[in-house]
Structure 1
Amino acid sequence: MRKRLSVAGAVLLTVLAAVFVFVQPAHAAAGFSVANGRLYDAGGTEFVMRGVNHAHTWYPQQTNSFANVKALGANTVRVVLATGDRWAKNSAADVGNVISLCKANRLICVLEVHDTTGYGEQSGAITLDRAVDYWLSIAGALNGQEKYVIVNIGNEPYGNQGYATWATDSANAIKRLRAGGLAHTIMVDAPNWGQDWSFTMRDNAATVFNADPAKNTVFSIHMYGVFDTAAEITDYLGRFRSAGLPIVVGEFGFNHSDGNPDEDTILSYSQANRIGWLGWSWSGNGGGVEYLDMATNFDPAQLTSWGQRIFNGANGIKATAREASVYSGTTPTPTTPTPTTPPPTTPPTGGCTASYTIVNQWQGGFQGEVKVTAGSAAITGWTTKWTFAGGQTVSQSWNAALSSSGAAYTARNVDYNGRLGAGASTSFGFIASWNGTNPAPAVTCTAS
C-alpha cells in the first residue's frame, strides 16, 4: 500500500486469452501448492487466506501483534519487509524470528518486500529483480519453511507508469527464485499501485503462471478506490476463477483517499467463491490514512470500526477463517442456520423498517445483523429496538451505537450511516452469546 494513490481513467475490459485446467495434488506436498486455481497447504487441504497485513519493518518491536491477530481469529498475516534500499533491511535472523512467531501462533506467513512499491513513479522504488536479490540473500531463513511461508516478491511493483514490462519482469523474477532454490508458493502483485486498472496482470496472468517451472504462483490484487462497485469486483475476481488461475485480495480497505472500496462485496464474493484476502492493516498507518488502522496503537482491545468490521463483521475473519491443516488443529466450524427474518413491524411507506438475521451460529455464540431500510422518503437518522427472549447477550457491535437495559436493546445510527435515501438500506452487526435456544426477536425501526 502507498500513502496516496493516483488512479488512471477507465480502461475497456478485454477477455482472458486462455483457460487452464490443472489437476489437484493427490497427496500432501512439501509445502503449499496450486492446482485448479486453488491453494493447498502441505497437508493437502485447500487453504483460504483470512488475515491482515502487519507493518513489521516499521514497527519491529510490535512482536505481540502476531499473537493478537491470531487471537482475533486470523489464519494468515502478510508481513511487510524491507531490503535496505528504501527502509532498514530486515536481516535473515529477523525474518527467521518472524517465521517463528507465525509458527508459534499457528499462522501462515506471507512475506513481502515493500521497497518495490510504485516503481517507475515513486522515487527510490526498486525493481523486482532487485527484490529477488534480497530473497536469495536470506534464502537460509526461508528454506525448509515451505509449509508455513509464501513469498510475495514485491509489493505493488509498478505505479501508473512503465508497467508494460510487468509480465516479463514478473516471469523473470519467478524463474530466478526457482533457479536459486526457492520452492515456496510465490505471490505476485499487480501493477498500477496494485490495483491493475490497466488489466495488465489480468490479461497476462496465464503467461506468468506458465513461466513458473513449479506452476506454484498466486496472483494478488489490491482493492482500493478502483474497486468501488460490486460489478468491478466480481468481474475482476470472476475472470481469474473462470480461467482457473489463483487469485487473492492481498490488500483492501473500507475507505480510501482515492475512492470508497466496496468492502462488503469483496468479503461476500470472496467467501462465496473461496478466494483468500488480507486486509490493510493491523495498526501504525500514517500519511493521512490512519483510518485504515484496525487496532488503535496496536491494542487488540481497542478495535476501530474497520477492525470490528473485518474481524467480527459479516463474512469477516471470525466467521470464516480456518486454520491451516499443517498445524494439525481445526477451528470450530460455525453452523449457518437459515436466516430468520421476522416481518417488519413498521409501515412500508415512509419511516423505516428493520429486519434481523442470524448470520452465523456456533455453540454458545452467534453473529447477528440488522438491516435498516428507509421507506418512501429519505431519512436523516434511525433507531431500532428489540427484546431478546432467550437470554442472549451482546458482547460486541459495529456500525451502530448500541445500548441495553436487561434483555431490551436499542441501536441508533452512527454519523456515517444515518442518512438514507428513499428505499436505501444500511446494516449493523454484533456478536452475542446464547444458551439453550436462540429465537430471533422482532425489531422495530423509528426514523428521524
Structure 2
Amino acid sequence: MEPTQSISALRAAMKSGTLTSTALVEQCLARIKAGDGELGAWVSVDVGGARADAERADKELARGVVHGVLHGIPIGIKDIVDVVGTVTGAGSALRMKLEAPAARDATLVAALRRAGGIIIGKTVTTQFACFDPALTRNPWGADRTPGGSSSGSAAAVAAGMVPAAIGSQTGGSITRPAAYCGVCGMKPTFQTVPLDGVIPVAPSLDHPGPITRTVGDLRVMLQAMTETACVESELPAMSHLKLGRLRHFFEDRIDPQVRDALDATIERFVSAGATMVDIDVPSEFSDVLLHHRRIMATEAALWHRERFRNHRDDYGPRIASLLEEGLGTSLADYSASKAHQLALTKAMAALFQHRIDALLTPAAIGPAPDATTTGDPCMNSPWSYTGLPTVSFPIGLSTERLPLAIQLVGPHRHDWQLLNVAEVCERLLPPVA
C-alpha cells in the first residue's frame, strides 16, 4: 500500500499483516527523497528516528500492543511546533542558526506519539506563519502557491509523501493550503488543541489542526491530538441535515468557477435529501477583516517586539509590515477590535440556534494563484476570529485543472458533529484527480 491511502486503510493493512510500519515509512522516505528537491515541502527529515520508531511499532504490533489510533503512521509537523531534538526554525534563517534544539515535544506532538504516530520530519512554514511566501511549490502546478502558512504540510500530504501533517491557522493557514493542494483540512474550535510548544502568531486567534487526504482521517488525527479515547462516529443521513449557505460577504468575493462548483456541489447535497437554506451573515461581518488583522498584528507585535528591534533584517517584507502595524496600534483600537470579536462570536452562536447543522462557504476565493502570494484568507479569517470549527475538502477542478474546495463551519465545540456532517457530504462527491 502507498502513503496516498487513508489512515484507516493503512491501519487495517497493518492489522492484517499485509503492511508494516517499516514498509510505510520507507515508502514515505523514498517519495520525499525523489520529489522534495522540486517540491520543497520539508525543512528536515528524521530518517534514523523514523526508521527506529517504525521498527519498534512493528515489534509491538506483533506482540499485540497497539498504542493508539496512529500506531505506526508517519506524520509531518509544521516547523513552528516543537519536536524534541530539532530546532524550531519557523521559516527564519537566523533562528535555524542560533536557536537550540527543542528540549521537549510540544503538547500536541507528545499526544501524537502517545497515539502511536511516528514523527517523520518538520514541514516548511512561511516565515513565522505569516504572509511572505515560502519556497514550497504546489504539487498541482509548480508555478502555483501551495498557500500558507502551512505550505509544506499541505504540499507533502498532497504529494503522497506522508499520510497526514500538522498545520496551524491564525487567518486561513490550514484551510487555504488544503484547498489549493486538493486535500482536507480542519481548524478545530479555538483552544481544542493545546498551543504549548507552538510559536505564536496571535494567541487569541491561533489554532493547530490536521491536514489529511480524507475527512475520516481528520477525525483520526483530531482524536489523537486531543487524546480523545472514544469518538461517536455514527454518520447522519443526508435527509436529516439542515445546511446553511452563507451569501454576500463570501460569494461576492469568489471566482465564477468557484461559484459554479459550489452550486453543483450543493445541488448534489439537496438531491441526496439535505435541506438547504440561504443565510445572511450578521452585520458585524462588514468590518471583520479589519478587526481580525488588527488583533493579529497587535498580538504578533507583542511577541516579536524585542526580536524585531534587534534583528529587523531577518523579517520578510509582509510580516515586517504586519508587525509595524501592530506596534502602531493603540490600546483603545485593540480593545475595540476585541469587543467586535466578542460581538460577532455571540452573533454566530445565535445564528446556530436555528438548528443549522453546518454553514457552507467556499474554502478559498479561487484556485491557487501564482507563487508570489499565499492567497487571500478572507474566506477563512472570520472563523479563526470567532473560533468556530471548520472542515474543508475538495469539490472539483478549475478549467486549469487546479483544485477547488468547500468549507463547512460548525457551532462552537461541535467538532465531532461537524466531522460527521463533512464526511457524509464528502462521500457524495467523486474523487478529485
TM-score for both structures, normalised by structure 1? 0.29
Q: Which has the higher strand share?
A: 1
Q: Which has the higher contact order (CA 8 A, sep 6+)?
A: 2
* Larger Rg over CA atoms: 1
